[in-house]
Amino acid sequence: MKKEDKALIIAHIGEQLKEYSCVYLTQTSGLNAEKTSKLRRACFGADVKMLCVKNTLLRKAFEASETDYSGLYDLLHGETTLLLSNVGNAPAKLIKQFREKNDTLPMLKGAFVEESVYIGEEQLETLANIKSKNELIADVVALLQSPAKNVISALQSGAGKIHGILETLSNRE
Q: What is the largest CA-CA distance in the chain?
A: 101
- So what's the architecture of 3-130 in CATH? 2-Layer Sandwich (3.30)
Strand 107-113 versus strand 49-53 pairing type: unpaired
The pair phi, psi for residue 27, each rounded to 5°, is -120, 120
pLDDT digits (tens, 9 = 90+) for 3-60: 899 999 999 999 999 999 999 999 998 888 899 999 999 999 999 999 999 999 999 9
Q: Against a cut of 0.85, is the pTM above it?
A: no
Residues 6+ apart with CB under 8 A from 153: none
CB distance 24 to 120 below 8 Å: no
Distance, in Å, from the CA atom of 17 to the CA atom of 21, rounded to the nearest integer, reads 7
* pLDDT the model gives residue 159: 63
Please choose, from the candidates 67, 53, 74, 78, the residue with its C-alpha nearest in 3D space to the C-alpha of residue 116. Answer: 67
pLDDT digits (tens, 9 = 90+) for 93-143: 999 999 888 767 889 999 999 889 999 999 999 999 888 778 888 888 888
Mean pLDDT rounded to a whole number for the chain: 88
pLDDT digits (tens, 9 = 90+) for 148-161: 777 777 667 666 67
Distance separating the N- and C-terminal Cα atoms of the chain: 100
A 10 A CB-CB count for 107 gives 18
Domain ranges of the chain: 3-130, 131-173
**Higher local confidence (pLDDT), 78 or 169:** 78
CB distance 81 to 106 below 8 Å: yes
Task: Compute the average pLDDT of residues 156-172.
Answer: 73
* pLDDT the model gives residue 155: 67
